[in-house]
Amino acid sequence: MKVYKFGGASVNSVERIQNLASILIKEQGSGEQLVIIISAMGKTTNGLEKVAAAFYEGKKEEALQLFTIIKQQHLNTSKYLLVTHFNECLSYLTDFFTEVEWLLHDKPVREFDYYYDQIVCIGELLSTCIVSHYLSEKGILNHWLDVRDLLRTDNNFREGNIDWAYTSQKIRSAIHDPSGMYITQGFIGATEDNESTTLGREGSDYTAAVFANILQATSVTIWKDVIGIMNADPKQFPEASLLSELSYTEVIEMAFYGAQVIHPKTIKPLQNKQIPLFVKCFTDPELPGTLIHQHSSKQLPPVLVIKNNQVMMHLTSLDFSFVGESLMKRLYTLFATNKIKPNLIQTGAINVQICLDEHSEKIDHIAAAASNWFDVQIEKQLHLITIRHYTPEILDKLIAGKKQVFLQQTKNTFQMVYTD
């Protein structure tokens, strides 16, 4: 069996949904089981985040108005796509709308993350409902599943941790047709009390990996609006080229340094079962895309990542004592508490240099707490360039004329923080 995952861009219009169907038509009659994970349409998640924020701030009418816009967008899409299956689809959509509207007429009494998950999860339910009914109307037999009935998580809202034993049993029980096509949602799950949860960043890709791992899939394909994974952002580097093949390890390294590729938590379930991952273009399915698998990548070109809006935190111990395990443990506890990850860190005898994404409130909080043990100096409005598999030529080209703030270099990776 295979797992396909379609992101929000692949279902953000009537034409894109019709294109998705044309990809799946080719799978009909293959005799192969197919599980399809679909994200919310386009910018729906962003819109639902605004609904959640307005609700939590006590702005009920604003929240309802914002949700009405999202409702109408999905109703319009279903009207354009559906004829014979419209009424059945509308019945499902209405139930999902009601699920949110009941909550919006209440008052928040729990933490924001709880309400975020109850509201935002509806995006995936709406998109999969419409796509499933459209496929049925086009004669593509499929089974729609509410993933909240299958994927059990703990109560860690917005970063749900999966109960693998329960989830495995439910998924294996639900996916029973050996040649069937199943449509379900990415990004979301539910607790033991049937309260909706979300899985955090890149949750839909992660969902696809979870299903693949449990069902022993032969492959996973993530359909994107790009030709595959590139060695640089083509918006920043027009000469960027396709990386046709990558190892799991290389992808994790790229993601760690900030490349917009596949999140490491998606890779782990696949790596554990050695399931290959394809990244393909949904607008041109015949393109080869990128293959990610167990084997080492050889002779890769330089891989470039630039992160803007960076902050350097320069820490020096107050009493000039060595920076040992105790002080570093306190720092890492601060990072964990504030949910922020250092992009670069280097320790010396009495100092620590840390490069972080610019999150003003979090940075200020960390700096204030760290000032109990360190003299803290902060530089803002910086950039971080990372070059994997660098060459002397690429270094000369990319760092020329840049004012260096900090540099770190290993055999395979060059990193420099700089200012314009």
Check pLDDT > 90 for residue 307. Answer: yes
Structure confidence at residue 24 as a pLDDT band (50, 70, 90) = very high
Q: Which CATH architecture has domain 2-225?
A: 3-Layer(aba) Sandwich (3.40)
- Percentage of the chain with pLDDT > 70? 100
CATH architecture under which domain 303-419 falls = 2-Layer Sandwich (3.30)
Residue 387: burial class (beta carbons within 10 Å; 0-12, 13-18, 19+): buried
Secondary structure class of 246 (helix, strand, coil): strand
Q: What are the pLDDT digits (tens) for 196-220?
A: 999 987 899 999 999 999 999 999 9
3-state secondary structure of 181: strand
Alpha carbons 143 and 180: distance in angstroms, whole number:
8
pLDDT score for 278: 97
pLDDT reported for residue 97: 98
Return residue ranges of the chain for CATH 3.30.2130.10: 303-419
Q: For the chain, where do the domains classified as CATH 3.40.1160.10 start and end?
A: 2-225
pLDDT of residue 400: 86
pLDDT band of 319, cuts 50, 70, 90: confident
Where is 103: in which H helix or E strand? helix 86-104
Helix or strand holding residue 387 (H, E): strand 374-388
Query: The pTM is what?
Result: 0.91
d(CA 384, CA 399): 11
Helix (H) or strand (E) holding 5: strand 2-6
Which two tokens mark 249? 């390890």
pLDDT tier, 244 (very low <50, low <70, confident <90, very high otherwise): very high
Could you tell me whether strands 181-185 and 34-38 are parallel, antiparallel, or unpaired per DSSP bridges? parallel
Report pLDDT for 264. Answer: 83
**Could you give the 3-state DSSP secondary structure of residue 147?**
helix
pLDDT of residue 299: 84
Q: What integer best gives the mean pLDDT of the chain?
A: 94
Neighbouring C-alpha atoms within 13 Å toward the C-beta of 392: 0
How many Å apart are CA 208 and CA 14, to the nearest integer? Answer: 24
| pLDDT computed for residue 26 by the predictor | 85
Tens digits of residue pLDDT in 393-403 = 999 999 888 99
The pLDDT assigned to 395 comes to: 93
